[in-house]
Amino acid sequence: MLLREVKTKLQKVFELRDMGSLHHCLGIQFSHVGGEITLSQENYIENLINKFNMAECKPVSTPMETGLKLEKGNGLTEMENIPYQMLIGSLMYLAVATRPEIMFAVSYLSQYNTCFDNTHWHAAKRVIRYLKGTKNVTIRYKQSGMALTGMADADWAACTVDRRSYTGYIFKYGGGLISYASKKQRTVALSTAEAEYMAMTEATKEALHLKYLLEDIGVFQQTVTIYNDNLAAQMLVNNQMTGKRSKHISIKEHFIRDCVQKKLVTIRYKDTEHMEADLFTKAIPQPRLLKLLKMIGVTQT
């Protein structure tokens, strides 16, 4: 009923042609089976493998080697014709569209777009090797009635170049993954709790954006629950006082306190073992990778 109403209103303003159910759009394949929608980019990945001459490469089980730490490249002349930036751009589209498990790797490697060497190039090609063995992975959506919820996590001082931490967050609606991010924090955190606090602030901004977006289409939710796995950071959110451990934190990071006070968001604890946002803060081994992917609705057909 709502879909028909939207189509009718659009037809009054624009010239439209109803082509039925969506099957392909912008390199993404859509499938509708038994009330479930799946998204995949198998054709895009196949084209990517051929484009970078990786058809004969050996697949690997993870996008990035666990514990890999990269430094800035030394600007070797022979790297000038290597299409590193082109590869990172192609991978970024995959990461934001249907392949959340490569988001951290792509975000991490993109920091070296102007200072890469063979080490970075091999790390980027490893992502293609992972994709070759997982071309048929899909992200799934089905009606569940679950409210909008989020999870936020951080990896403290993860970058060996500037010692800044990594933020990762995800949001699910109706049980399906609708928003996720992996990004390096803009300032240096002095503790794990501070890094997690800053991650929750970023997640809160995204939560409000999604909350208001839902309201625009007539779906109202009083508060959005955001889970984290650090009790010290949660206490920092709930403590309105500024002490010696938090007096240096930027005012903008304390935005989360105001949102919690107004009950726009609710912060709750979830143990690290079940923290799905962990996928977006570091490279993880295959067993945990598969477990987290299943939890967020990404599966291999």
> What is the mean pLDDT, run by run of 10 residues, along the chain of 301 residues?
81 84 89 88 95 94 92 75 94 96 96 91 96 93 88 90 92 92 91 92 96 90 95 83 57 80 94 94 95 90 71
Whether residues 154 and 69 fall in one domain? no
Whether residues 168 and 284 fall in one domain? yes
Whether residues 195 and 120 fall in one domain? no
pLDDT at 135: 93
Whether residues 159 and 210 fall in one domain? yes
pLDDT at 244: 54
Q: Which of 137, 160, 176 is the last residue of a domain?
A: 137
Whether residues 68 and 205 fall in one domain? no
Phi, psi dihedrals of residue 193, rounded to the nearest 5°? -60, -40
Three-class secondary structure of residue 201 per DSSP: helix
Residue 5 placed within a domain: no
Domain span at 279: 144-300
Whether residues 237 and 171 fall in one domain? yes
Q: Which of 105, 137, 169 is the last residue of a domain?
A: 137
Q: How far apart are CA 270 and CA 114, in angstroms?
A: 38
pLDDT at 15: 87
pTM over 0.95, yes/no: no
At 233, which CATH number?
3.30.420.10
Tokens 């409210």 locate to 147
Q: How far apart are CA 301 and CA 171, in angstroms?
A: 23
Residue 69 placed within a domain: yes
Residue 32 placed within a domain: no
Cβ-count burial 190-223 (b if 16+ within 10 Å, e if not): ebbbbbbbbbbbbbbebbeebbeebeeeeeebeb
Q: Which of 77, 105, 137 is the last residue of a domain?
A: 137
Whether residues 273 and 177 fall in one domain? yes
Where are the alpha helices (H) located in the chain, listed in sequence order? 2-11, 42-51, 84-97, 103-110, 118-133, 192-216, 231-238, 255-261, 286-295
pLDDT at 248: 55
| Structure tokens given for 47 | 């084209």
Compute the CA torsion angle 157, 297, 292, 129 (nearest 10 deg): -80
Of 257, 239, 152, 231, the C-alpha closest to 199 is 152
Beta-ladder partners of 171: 150, 179
pLDDT at 252: 66
| Structure tokens given for 160 | 């060996």
pLDDT at 243: 55
Whether the CB-CB separation of 151 and 270 falls below 8 Å is answered with: yes
CA terminus-to-terminus distance, the chain: 32
Whether residues 126 and 274 fall in one domain? no
Structurally, the chain folds into a number of domains equal to 2
